[in-house]
Structures are given as structure tokens and as C-alpha cells.
Structure 1
Amino acid sequence: MGPKVGFWYRFAVMLGKPPVILLFQRDWRGASNIPADGGFIAAVNHNSYLDPLAYGQFQYKARRPPRFLAKESLFTGPVGRLLRATGQIPVSRSGADAMTALRAAVEAVERGDGVVFYPEGTLTRDPGMWPMSGRTGTARVALMTKCPVIPVAQWGANVLLPPYGKMGRIFPRTRHTVLAGPPVDLSRFYDREMTPEVLREATEEIMKAITGLLAEIRGETAPPTPRDRNKRVAESAAAASHD
């Protein structure tokens, strides 16, 4: 199972597995694309507060315990102590502290861990539940380490618990689908200076792969252009300027 897991990680898995079994009918595919050894990044879409629980079980079942980048506010109290004990990585929204998280992610990849990034940095706000544009942190770590980046799409947790919505019916169980794809080819960026433009281009490649997998799961055509994750902030600022 790659790097060894200790008591606390196994304890967390034991706590998380029953709710996943209770809530979801699992349709999990593409586990063969998860590297058997060595450090890698799993780049995953985010459409429900429940999906980290479900995706975490998917990657653990693939014998690669996930190390999530999670918002710093979760790392308090008993839950926070458990997150730290299992090697999860806190992320602050402030610039300097955000870079600290990325350095920790680089160290985890170089140590041989499978690090889980949500490139959008938040729950999707796209009305059709498609992935939005991504933040560049995933691409930065990928280009620094030259590790495999596995695109992953998931669908179903959002049906049970929509973003910023209320919990739906538990029974009958909701189908939760995970589809992990082959590594995103970022090799053309390796010898280029890591400029903002290069990071944006690499991020777009990662998001395109995730969106393609989600379109396959849903049997639908994705929008040609992803929603700008900063759109709501920009719209609010524009509205305020006209008051």
C-alpha cells in the first residue's frame, strides 16, 4: 500500500467507511490508473462536502492512502488532530501560508505519497455542476516534481448533498461514480520557465482532462469554456461599484 500507514490512519478509514457504504451505491472505475508506487497527484473535481469522504475511500481501496490538501479551518479540535495525525495538509488562503502548503505537498510527493488536489480550490459554483477554472497550485507542484497527475472525475455525492444545499434522501442509496483517467501529459512544460502563463496553460490541461472524464460519466457535453471561479467575486465587486 505504498508508504506505510499507522494506527490513526487506519482508525480514520474505519470511521469513514461505514457512512460511504450506507450512503452510496459505488460505481468506482479506473483504479488501475492510480500508480502502484511512487509519488503522484490526484486532481479531482469538487461538487459536494461529502465527496472527499467518498473519494478518499476510493484511493485507499486502490492501495494508495490519500493525503488531502484541506482548508486550514478544519484543522482544529479532535477532527483537526486526526487530520494532522493522518498526514493531511492544511491550506491557508493567504499567499505566504499557501506556499507553505505547496511546499508540504512537494515534500509528500517526493516522499512517495499520493496527494489529492481539488484544483478549483472550492466547491463548484457552475450552474450545471461542471468543473470551474482551476487554481495553479496543482500545476506548480506537478511541474516542480514531474510526478504523474491523475485526473479524476466524480459524480453522485452532489445529488445527495448539493453544494451549499441541504441533504437529500438517504434511501434508496445514491450512485456515486468515480472515474480515474490516465496521467495528464505535461511533459511539454517541463523545460519551460514556470511563468504565470505556463502555470495557467498546464492548469487548463489538467482541468480539461477532469472535465472530459466527467462528461463521460454523465453522458453529456461539457460547456466549451469553464466558468471562471472568480466570477462571483468579480460580479459582486461590479455591483458594489454601481451602488
Structure 2
Amino acid sequence: MTSDDQSSAGPRRSAAFRIAAVVARPSLNLLMGKDWQRMERLPSGGYIVVANHVTELDPLAVAHAVYMGGNTPHFLAKDSLFKIPVLGAALRGLKQIPVIRDQRESHKSLTVAQEVLDEGGAIIIYPEGTLTRDPDLWPMRSKTGAARLALTTGAPIVPITHWGVQDFLPPYAKAPRPLPRKKYRLNVGETVDLDDLRDQPLGRHVLAEATERIEDALTSGVAELRDEEAPDHIWDRALRQRVPRRQVHPDE
């Protein structure tokens, strides 16, 4: 288990990050207990986090662990949010990453992501793209974005899984359930091995293989936290059912 005073030395944090932490950390510590496991696996430099997505509070729980591990957490956000006066300034101050849909401008997102990684920051991505639709809350089929970013930038991918946050705030719930006080578990997995794929052309097969490894890492991590066997099949959001694990992904 890791406590808040065990953060390691990391990249210099901006005033915006320090202010956000002053507000968020005490609130999270008050609302939920935590059991963070294998925090020593977090790299010292820039890296990409992939995490399972069960409830709307997940980003704060994962970012808390990343921050206390000595890094600065960064998320992908719609570029339209950066155009809102106050919110946009806050996002830029925290150096969050705009997701630009226009193909002519999409390279700007990659530029910011690369800057974050070069500065030793951590980019947190939810490969499923949304809260899991699996009836039993297992990770569902992932999109290829996290794999593409890792293979493009050369950054390592670290899976972080958690279980128990949904007891405090169930999926799609309008209000939390603070009493009795809940406790969640979080585990840092081993870096996803993509070394054999990094020198290959970034085609469909390579992206599918890398994405399947990410899916397997997240599913294994959740299974360990739940102390259960994971299902043999994986939930496909498009088909609304579990399907055999295979190297075919809906966004390819």
C-alpha cells in the first residue's frame, strides 16, 4: 500500500498542477480509502497509462496515483473545450491534450502529446473509449488509439487497473454513496511489451496486435483485483455481446 507522502522525485510541476492537487488530494483521501499496489512499476520518465473504465470518478482515482507516483497526469480532451474562455485556460495550464478531429490539424495533438512525454509527463488513456458496457464490468474491446500513440511516440505503455471506485459512485449514477466509507484497490501492471512491433510499418495488423495486448493486460489486472477468472470472451460494444478475442477491432 502506498500513502500520499511516498511520491518520488519527478518532473517539475506547474502552479496549475499544484493548485489542482491541493484541492483534489484531500477530497479524494476523505471520500475513499485506497490500496495502491506495485507503485514501484511506474516509470521515472514519460509514459502512457491505459486504464479500465467503470465509473465517471475513475480519472481522478488514476490521476491521484500517477501524481503521487511522482508524475504529472494528462488527459485527452475535445479541442472545442479549449475554446471556452475559463475552462480552456485551465486545460492549457494543466497541459491537457486537445483531440483534433480535422485530419489537416490532427498533427497538433501529436505534437502536444510528444511534448508532454518529453517533459516526463504521463498521458492517461481509456482504450475502451467510454465506460464499459460489459454487464459484469469487465474491460471491453479497446480502440486502437492508445496503441497508435505508443507506437508513434515510442513511449512505454503502463496498465493501471482498479476495482471498488464503483462502490462509491456506480456507473451512470447521479449521486455518490459515501456511507459506509468505501475503499478501492489499484494495481500498476507490467509495461506492455511492444518492442517487436515498434520497427514494423504502422498497419492494421500491428495496431490490432498491440491493442489486443493492451486488452489482455487490463483484463488480467482487473481479474487479479477481483480475485476472479476473467471471461473467455470480451464485450464488443458494437455487437452488444461478448465475442471471441481476436485481432479485429471496430475502428480499423
| Structure 2 residue corresponding to 1:146, chosen from 127, 133, 154 | 154
Match of 1:45 in 2: 52
2:244 corresponding residue in structure 1: none
Superposed CA deviations along residues 184-208 of structure 1, whole A, max 9, x for unmatched, are: 1111111211102210110110111
In structure 2, the CA distance between the partners of 1:172 and 1:98, relative to structure 1 (3 Å rule), is: farther
Matches within 5 A, 1:129-168: 129-168=137-176
The whole-number CA distance in structure 2 between the counterparts of 1:19 and 1:117 is: 23
Where structure 2 has 5 or more consecutive residues not aligned to the other structure, the ranges are 1-8, 241-252
* Alignment match, 1:202: 210
- Tell me which protein shows more helix as a share of its residues: 1
Task: Give the number of aligned pairs.
Answer: 230
CA contact (8 A) 1:133 1:229 kept: yes
Deviation at 1:70, TM superposition (A): 3.2
Q: CA RMSD of the aligned region, Å?
A: 2.0
Which runs of 5 or more residues in structure 1 are unaligned?
A: 233-243
Determine the structure 2 residue equivalent to 1:13.
21
Instruction: Report what 1:231 is aligned to.
Output: 239
Rate the CA distance shift 1:163–1:169 in 2: closer, same or farther, 3 A.
Answer: closer
- SS of the aligned residue for 1:32 comes to helix
* Residues 1:229 and 1:98: Cα distance change in structure 2 (over 3 Å): farther
Instruction: State the identity as a percent.
Output: 41
Distance 1:153 1:74 in 2: 27
Change (3 A) 1:228 1:107: farther
TM-score, scaled to structure 2: 0.83
Instruction: Report the counterpart of residue 64 of structure 1 in structure 2.
Output: 71
Question: Which residue identity does 2:187 align to in structure 1?
Answer: L
Deviation at 1:84, TM superposition (A): 2.1
Tell me the distance in 1 between the aligned counterparts of 2:156 and 2:12. 20
| Alpha-carbon distance in 2 for matches of 1:123, 1:177 | 18
Distance in 1 of aligned mates of 2:69 and 2:106: 29
CA drift of 1:73 comes to 6.0
Question: How big is the shift at 1:95?
Answer: 5.7
Provide the residue aligned with 1:22 in structure 2.
30
Q: CA deviation at 1:53?
A: 1.0
The alignment partner of 2:141 has SS state of coil
Indicate conservation of the 8 Å contact 1:120/1:133, yes or no: yes
**Deviation larger for 129-138 or 75-84:** 75-84
Aligned to 2:112: 104
Q: Is the 8 A contact 2:11 2:70 kept in 1?
A: no
